[in-house]
Structure 1
C-alpha cells in the first residue's frame, strides 16, 4: 500500500502489523480491517508504516553500518558485508525459523505419506491408523502452506528494506558529491544504480536463508534416506550434490553477464541523456542518424547480454525438472541390482524426499547463489559511488537527504 508523502506520520493510523500476534501474522488476519473497508478509501484510511520500514530510519541504519565498516576495515571496506551483517542477519531469524519449520513439515509429510501407502497395502490395517496417517499428511501440508507464506512475506520485507535503504543512500550521496566527482559519474549511471542494481537485493533477501538451510536439510534427508532405503539412497544423493557445482558455475556466469549488461545499460542511458540534453546541437549538426546508430549498438549489446542470461536460466531450470527423475532412477536401479525388494511406501517416500531436496538444494540454493552474485555486483557498483569525494560543506552536514521521503510507504 502506498501512502502519499504529504500525509504526516502523526496523522496516519498505527500499522496493524506492529501489534499483530503470531497467529494473526500466520493467517494474515491483521489486514482484515483494511480489506473489509466498505466505503471509498482515501489517504487517511491507509495505515502508517512500521518504524523499521520508514525510509529515513533505514537510511540512518545503513549509514551507521557503512561508517562502521569503513572504520573497522579502512583498506578494503565492503558494502555487501555491511548490508548483510547489519541489516539482513539481525532481522532474518524469524524468516529462517519459518523456512526451517516449513522444510520440517515437508519432510514429515513425506514420511506420513509413506506410512499411509504402507497402510493401504495392508489387508488388516485398522481404520483409526489410516485416518491418523491421512490426518498426518493433511496437517503437515496445511502447516507447510501457512509457514511458506509467512516466511516469504518476512523475507520479501527484508529484501525491500535493503532496497529502500540503498535508494535513499544513493540519493543522499548524489546530493553531496563534489564538483570533481561529477566528472566520473553520470546521471544515467546513478539512475541505473537506483533502479536496476538495487532490485537484486529484493530477490536476494528472499533466497538468502536457503544458503544455510539447504545444506542442513540435505544432511537430514540423507540420514532419513539411508535409514529407509539403505546405501542405495546415497547414489541419488551424490547425483544431487554433483549438480550443485554446476549451479555455482551458472551463478558465476550470471554475475559476469550481469556486470556486462550493467555496463551496456549505463552507456545506453548516458547516450540517451546526452542526446536529450543536446537535442538542438544534434539537429544543427545533422547527427541524428549517427546518434541513432550508436544508441542502437549499445542497446543491441545490452539485449545480447540479456539473451545469454535467459539461455543460462533456461538450462538452470531444466536441471530442476530432470534432477528428481535421474536421482530416483539411480537409487532404485542400484537397490534392485543389490538384490533388494522395492515397496510402494519406499518408492513414494523416496521420491517425495528427492522432490523436497531438489526444490531447496538445486532450486532455491541455486537462486540464492545467483541472486547473491548479482547483488554483490550491484553492491560493488554502488560502493564505488559511495567512495567518491564529497563537497566540504556536505561532509560536515547531517545526512538528511532521505528526510523528505521518511514517511513514504515502501512499494514493490
Structure 2
C-alpha cells in the first residue's frame, strides 16, 4: 500500500432492509468477491461509526467518569460493570428476548411433531386439518430458529466487540499515563495478557450471558411437557440435570483457579521475554 491508507468500500449494513439484515443478504457481494478472488484490504467495508475505536473508547471513558462521580457521592467503589451497563445494558438485554423467543420456538416444535405423529396412529384422534396444521407448525418452527438464532449471535458479538475495544482503549490510555512508580509495579506481560487474552473473552461472553436466566425457564418448560407425555418418569432426567449443576460449578471454579495461576505465569514469562529482547537489542546496538 506504500504507506497510504487503503480506501475501503462503503458499509452496506446501515442501508440494508429488515429482511436483508436477518438473511444477511447485504454480505453477498463480499462473499462473491471472496469466491472469485483473494480478498484484499480494498475489498473490506468501512467500520460503522459506532464501531470505531475512538468513538467507543470515548463513550466508555465518559461513562466511567460518570460512574466514578456517582460512586464518590454514594461512598462506594466505582464499578466498570455499571459503566458498561449504562451504555450497552438496554441493547444487550433486548437481545435476551430473541433468545427466549428462539427457545420457545424450539419447545413448540416437538409439540407439533407429537401432534403429527398422533395423526398416523390407528385410532387417530386428529382430523386431516389438524395434521396439516401440525405439519405447518413443524415447518415454520424449523424456519424460524435460524432466522432468530443468527441475528442474536451476530448482534451480541457486535456488542461484545464494542465493549472489548472500549476496555482496550482505556487500558492503553491508562498505560500511557502511568507514573514512573506505577510502571515499576506493572509488568509488560500483565498488560499484554490483559489485551490479548482477557479482553478476547468479551467477544462471546454476552452471547452466553442470557442462558443464565433462559435455561432454568426452558428446563421447567421441557419438564412440564415431558410430565404430560410420560408422567413422573420425567423427574429422573430433571433430577440428573439438577445434580450436574453443582458438579459443573465445582469444575468451573477449579478451572478458574487454574486460569488464574496460568495468568500469573504468563505475566512472568512475558516479562522475562521482554527483558531478553531488550538485552538482545542492547547487545546488537553496542556490537558486544
User: Structure 1 length as normaliser, TM-score?
Assistant: 0.60
Q: 1:30 aligns with which of 18, 26, 29?
A: 26
Structure 1 unaligned blocks of 5 or more: 284-412
Q: 1:66 aligns with which of 61, 64, 71?
A: 64
* CA shift for structure 1 position 5: 9.2
- How many positions carry a matched residue from both structures? 276
Q: How many angstroms apart in 1 are the aligned matches of 2:190 and 2:249? A: 29
The verdict on how the C-alpha distance between 1:23 and 1:5 changes in structure 2, with shifts beyond 3 A counting, is: farther
Partner of residue 17, structure 2: 21
Q: Which runs of 4+ in 1 moved over 6 A?
A: 38-41, 280-283
* CA shift for structure 1 position 253: 1.9
Q: How many angstroms apart in 2 are the aligned matches of 1:159 and 1:265? A: 24
The alignment partner of 1:72 has SS state of helix
The alignment partner of 1:73 has SS state of helix
Q: Is the 8 A contact 1:192 1:266 kept in 2?
A: yes
> For residues 7-406 of structure 1, what are the structure 2 equivalents within 5 Å?
7=6, 13-37=9-33, 43-74=41-72, 75-83=76-84, 85-122=85-122, 127-279=128-280
Q: How many angstroms apart in 1 are the aligned matches of 2:11 and 2:186? A: 39
* CA shift for structure 1 position 237: 1.7
The verdict on how the C-alpha distance between 1:44 and 1:238 changes in structure 2, with shifts beyond 3 A counting, is: same
Q: How many angstroms apart in 2 are the aligned matches of 1:203 and 1:114? A: 35
Which protein, 1 or 2, shows the higher relative CO under an 8 Å CA cutoff with sep ≥ 6?
A: 1
Q: How many angstroms apart in 2 are the aligned matches of 1:195 and 1:227? A: 50
* Larger displacement relative to structure 2 (72-81 or 236-245): 72-81
Structure 2 unaligned blocks of 5 or more: none
Q: How many angstroms apart in 2 are the aligned matches of 1:86 and 1:5? A: 38
Q: How many angstroms apart in 2 are the aligned matches of 1:5 and 1:144? A: 44
Q: Is the 8 A contact 1:59 1:169 kept in 2?
A: yes
User: Structure 2 length as normaliser, TM-score?
Assistant: 0.84
Q: Is the 8 A contact 1:275 1:282 kept in 2?
A: no
* CA shift for structure 1 position 103: 0.6
* Larger displacement relative to structure 2 (68-77 or 247-256): 68-77
Q: How many angstroms apart in 2 are the aligned matches of 1:212 and 1:88? A: 19
The alignment partner of 2:192 has SS state of helix
Q: How many angstroms apart in 2 are the aligned matches of 1:57 and 1:230? A: 56
The verdict on how the C-alpha distance between 1:40 and 1:114 changes in structure 2, with shifts beyond 3 A counting, is: closer
Q: How many angstroms apart in 2 are the aligned matches of 1:86 and 1:33? A: 36
CA displacement 1:29-55 (0-9 Å, x = unmatched)? 121333345788655553322222111
The alignment partner of 1:142 has SS state of helix
* CA shift for structure 1 position 271: 0.8
Partner of residue 320, structure 1: none
* Larger displacement relative to structure 2 (40-49 or 192-201): 40-49
Q: How many angstroms apart in 1 are the aligned matches of 2:10 and 2:282? A: 54
CA displacement 1:219-250 (0-9 Å, x = unmatched)? 33333333444344334223322222222222
Partner of residue 394, structure 1: none
Cα RMSD of the aligned pairs, angstroms, is 2.8
Q: Is the 8 A contact 1:225 1:233 kept in 2?
A: yes
* CA shift for structure 1 position 145: 1.9
Q: Is the 8 A contact 2:188 2:267 kept in 1?
A: no
* CA shift for structure 1 position 81: 3.9
Larger relative helix fraction: 2
